[in-house]
Structure 1
Amino acid sequence: METKVTEIAPDIYRLSTYIPDADFMFNQFLVDAEEPLLFHCGLRGLFPLVSEALSRVVPVERLGWLTFGHVEADEIGALNSWVAAAPRAKVAHGAMGCLVSVNDMSDRLPVPLNDGEVIDLGGRRVRRLETPHMPHGWDAGLLYEETTGTLLCGDLFTAIGDSPALTEQEIVGPALAAEDVFGATCLTAATAPTMLRLADLEPTALGLMHGPAYTGDCGTALRELAAGYAQRFERSQV
Structure 2
Amino acid sequence: MTVTDKDTGTNIAEIADGIFRINTPIPPSAFPGGFSFNQYLILDDEPLLFHTGPRALLAPITDAIAAVMPIEKLRHVAFSHVEADECGTLNQLLALAPQAQPLCGQIAAMVSIGDLADRPPIALHDGETRSLGRHRVRWLDAPHLPHGWECGYLFEETSATLLCGDLFTQPGIGADPLTGGDILGPSDAFRRQMEYFSHSPQTASLLAKLAATRPQRLACMHGSAWEGDGAAMLDSLRQSLGH
Shorter chain as denominator, the TM-score bin is over 0.9
Amino acid at match of 1:45: A
Deviation at 1:117, TM superposition (A): 1.0
Unaligned runs of 5+ in 1: 232-238
Equivalent residue, structure 2, for 1:33? 44
1:184 aligned onto 2:196: yes
Task: Work out which of the residue numbers 132, 140, 162 in structure 2 matches 1:151.
Answer: 162
Equivalent residue, structure 2, for 1:113? 124
Deviation at 1:24, TM superposition (A): 1.0
1:3 aligned onto 2:15: no
**Secondary structure of the equivalent of 1:153?**
strand
Percent of residue pairs identical: 43
- The runs of 4+ residues in structure 1 deviating greater than 6 Å are none
Give the whole-Å Cα distance in 2 for the aligned partners of 1:230 and 1:143: 25
Deviations 1:69-95 (A, max 9, x none): 000000111101101000011211111
**Secondary structure of the equivalent of 1:35?**
coil
**Secondary structure of the equivalent of 2:118?**
coil
Deviation at 1:152, TM superposition (A): 0.5
**Secondary structure of the equivalent of 1:178?**
helix
Give the whole-Å Cα distance in 1 for the aligned partners of 2:234 and 2:165: 13
**Secondary structure of the equivalent of 1:206?**
strand
**Secondary structure of the equivalent of 1:29?**
strand
Task: Give aligned pairs, total.
Answer: 231
Deviation at 1:162, TM superposition (A): 1.8
Unaligned runs of 5+ in 2: 1-7
Task: Work out which of the residue numbers 80, 84, 99 in structure 2 matches 1:88.
Answer: 99
Give the whole-Å Cα distance in 2 for the aligned partners of 1:120 and 1:166: 25
Task: Work out which of the residue numbers 203, 216, 224 in structure 2 matches 1:204.
Answer: 216
Give the whole-Å Cα distance in 2 for the aligned partners of 1:177 and 1:38: 29
Give the whole-Å Cα distance in 2 for the aligned partners of 1:77 and 1:200: 31
1:193 aligned onto 2:223: no
Amino acid at match of 1:10: D
Conserved in 2, the CA contact under 8 Å of 1:169 and 1:216? Answer: no
Higher mean displacement: 109-118 or 149-158: 109-118
Deviations 1:152-176 (A, max 9, x none): 0000110111231111001111111
Give the whole-Å Cα distance in 2 for the aligned partners of 1:230 and 1:109: 39
TM-score after normalising by structure 1: 0.95
Equivalent residue, structure 2, for 1:234? none
Deviations 1:138-196 (A, max 9, x none): 00000000011000000011011123111100111111111101100111221122112
CA RMSD, Structure 1 to Structure 2 (Å): 0.9
Give the whole-Å Cα distance in 1 for the aligned partners of 2:173 and 2:103: 30
Conserved in 2, the CA contact under 8 Å of 1:40 and 1:68? Answer: yes
Give the whole-Å Cα distance in 2 for the aligned partners of 1:111 and 1:179: 32
Deviation at 1:42, TM superposition (A): 1.1
Give the whole-Å Cα distance in 1 for the aligned partners of 2:71 and 2:201: 41
1:66 aligned onto 2:77: yes
**Secondary structure of the equivalent of 2:241?**
helix
Equivalent residue, structure 2, for 1:14? 21
TM-score after normalising by structure 2: 0.93
Higher mean displacement: 185-194 or 67-76: 185-194
Equivalent residue, structure 1, for 2:56? 45
Deviation at 1:217, TM superposition (A): 2.0
Conserved in 2, the CA contact under 8 Å of 1:28 and 1:40? Answer: yes
Equivalent residue, structure 2, for 1:221? 233
